[in-house]
């Protein structure tokens, strides 16, 4: 294989899916990266081997858009792209969600170790690292596939989130990213919504790995606010809602529900006799109209593939 198969490091961290950073904390060790035919400027350093990127800083790195293998040499990159087995095949993993030209594939990091490692290395160019884990087998990856992508009838991976198979903190996301060429389309919100729905299906009541970066928190606040708005406005007119009610209905942690309410500035100064906070429903409605919050959820729960619907073929 022309492009390196070096073992890399999967990343656990958070960055905003829909915003670019103003000033990266560290200078990237790759000046320019080519993903397929797209030129992208990295934001942060990644853990590519120094001998593969030509020292401590590489001017150019070429990454296969299908398998995410990489090389600093354009001729090797061109040769690989002609024979990459994934260019004519569906992306790895089982489809767990499919609607409106997008699909989400679940990938076991143990089963697709090299793919997960190379995907994580590429993602690190656009993520601030909070933690680094060297064993991809302990993670599940959920890739977002654009199905009408040119060049492959099965679509192209344009982002993903990962999570630990067993999280002591019940986190439903370790790392989340929409690749820069596909940002500012609300796709990060779809990934966040999917992470919560998958967590609900598993009985995993939690949220993203903490602490959140400034930009990561901004992306999550946007999601929390939208979900809280829909929950509040769909409640019966005279029903008294508690934070726990909203939390139970959205699967968002109570403290994150409170953060959303404060972000929308809909909390009254007064409290109930029991000490509960009071929200102004008319303010919630006004905030929803101002921010163009849709009545329908971000994702269609019925578009998730039930486990019994996944067909496995046996080969002798």
pTM (2 decimals)? 0.86
Tens digits of per-residue pLDDT, 160-208? 999 999 988 889 999 999 999 999 899 999 999 999 999 999 999 999 9
Q: Residue 165: its pLDDT value, please?
A: 93
Domain residue limits at 281: 216-300
Whether the CB-CB separation of 109 and 10 falls below 8 Å is answered with yes
% of the chain at pLDDT higher than 90: 62
Q: How confident is the model at residue 309 (pLDDT cuts 50, 70, 90)?
A: low
Q: Would you name the residues annotated as active-site residues?
A: 209
Tens digits of per-residue pLDDT, 274-288? 667 778 888 999 999
| 276 inside domain | yes
Q: Do residues 203 and 65 share a domain? A: yes
In angstroms, the CA 123 to CA 9 distance is 11
Helix (H, G, I), strand (E, B) or coil at 220: helix
Q: How confident is the model at residue 291 (pLDDT cuts 50, 70, 90)?
A: very high
Name 67's Cβ contacts closer than 8 Å, sequence gap at least 6. 84, 85, 86, 115, 118
Higher pLDDT, 57 or 2: 57
Which CATH number covers residue 267? 1.10.10.10
Q: Do residues 227 and 271 share a domain? A: yes
Q: Residue 150: its pLDDT value, please?
A: 62
| 92 inside domain | yes
Tens digits of per-residue pLDDT, 120-155? 999 999 987 654 455 788 999 999 999 876 666 789
| DSSP class per residue in 116-169 | HHHHHHHHHTTS-EEEE-S-GGGEEEEEEEETT-TT-TT-EEEEEEEEESS-TT
The domain boundary residue, chosen from 208, 231, 266: 208
Q: Do residues 91 and 147 share a domain? A: yes
Lowest-confidence region among 16-25, 62-71, 77-86, 224-233? 16-25
Per the structure, the count of domains in the chain is: 2
HSE value, Cβ hemisphere, 13 Å, CA-based, for 230: 17
| 126 inside domain | yes
What's the whole-number mean pLDDT along residues 236-249? Answer: 84
Q: Residue 219: its pLDDT value, please?
A: 92
| 55 inside domain | yes
Q: Residue 168: its pLDDT value, please?
A: 86
Q: Do residues 172 and 41 share a domain? A: yes
What's the whole-number mean pLDDT along residues 210-233? Answer: 91
Q: Do residues 189 and 242 share a domain? A: no
Task: State yes or no: pLDDT of 248 exceeds 50.
Answer: yes
Whether the CB-CB separation of 166 and 202 falls below 8 Å is answered with no
Q: Residue 169: its pLDDT value, please?
A: 87
How many beta carbons lie within 10 A of that of residue 217, not counting itself? Answer: 18
| 263 inside domain | yes
In angstroms, the CA 268 to CA 143 distance is 41
Q: Residue 272: its pLDDT value, please?
A: 64
Lowest-confidence region among 42-56, 68-82, 107-121, 203-217? 42-56
Q: Residue 173: its pLDDT value, please?
A: 95
Which CATH number covers residue 195? 3.40.630.30
Task: State yes or no: pLDDT of 300 exceeds 90.
Answer: yes
Q: How confident is the model at residue 2 (pLDDT cuts 50, 70, 90)?
A: very low
Tens digits of per-residue pLDDT, 62-97? 999 999 999 999 999 999 999 999 998 999 999 999
């Amino acid at each position: 294989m022309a492009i390196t198969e070096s073992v890399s490091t999967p990343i656990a961290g958070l960055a905003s899916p829909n915003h670019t950073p103003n000033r990266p904390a560290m200078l990237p060790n790759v000046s320019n990266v080519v993903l397929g035919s797209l030129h992208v400027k990295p934001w942060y350093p990644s853990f590519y081997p120094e001998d593969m990127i030509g020292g401590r800083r590489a001017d150019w790195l070429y990454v296969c858009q299908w398998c995410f293998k990489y090389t600093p040499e354009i001729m090797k990159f061109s040769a690989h792209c002609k024979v990459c087995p994934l260019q004519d095949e569906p992306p790895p993993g089982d489809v767990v969600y499919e609607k409106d030209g997008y699909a989400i594939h679940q990938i076991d990091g143990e089963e697709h170790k090299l793919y997960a490692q190379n995907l994580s290395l590429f993602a690190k160019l656009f993520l601030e690292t909070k933690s680094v884990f060297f064993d991809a087998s302990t993670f599940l990856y959920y890739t977002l596939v654009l199905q009408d992508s040119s060049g492959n009838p099965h679509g192209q991976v344009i982002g993903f989130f990962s999570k630990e198979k067993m999280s002591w903190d019940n986190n439903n996301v370790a790392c989340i990213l929409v690749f820069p060429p596909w940002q500012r389309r609300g796709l990060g919100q779809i990934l966040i919504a999917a992470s919560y729905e998958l967590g609900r299906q598993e009985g995993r009541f939690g949220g993203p790995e903490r602490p959140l970066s400034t930009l990561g928190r901004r992306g999550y606040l946007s999601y929390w606010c939208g979900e809280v708005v829909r929950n509040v406005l769909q409640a019966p007119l005279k029903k008294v809602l508690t934070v726990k009610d909203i939390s139970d209905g959205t699967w968002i942690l109570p403290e994150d529900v409170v953060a959303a309410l404060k972000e929308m500035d809909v909390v009254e100064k007064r409290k109930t006799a029991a000490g509960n906070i009071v929200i102004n429903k008319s303010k919630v409605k006004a905030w929803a109209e101002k921010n163009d919050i849709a009545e329908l959820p971000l994702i269609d729960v019925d578009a998730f593939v039930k486990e019994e619907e996944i067909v496995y073929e046996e080969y002798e």
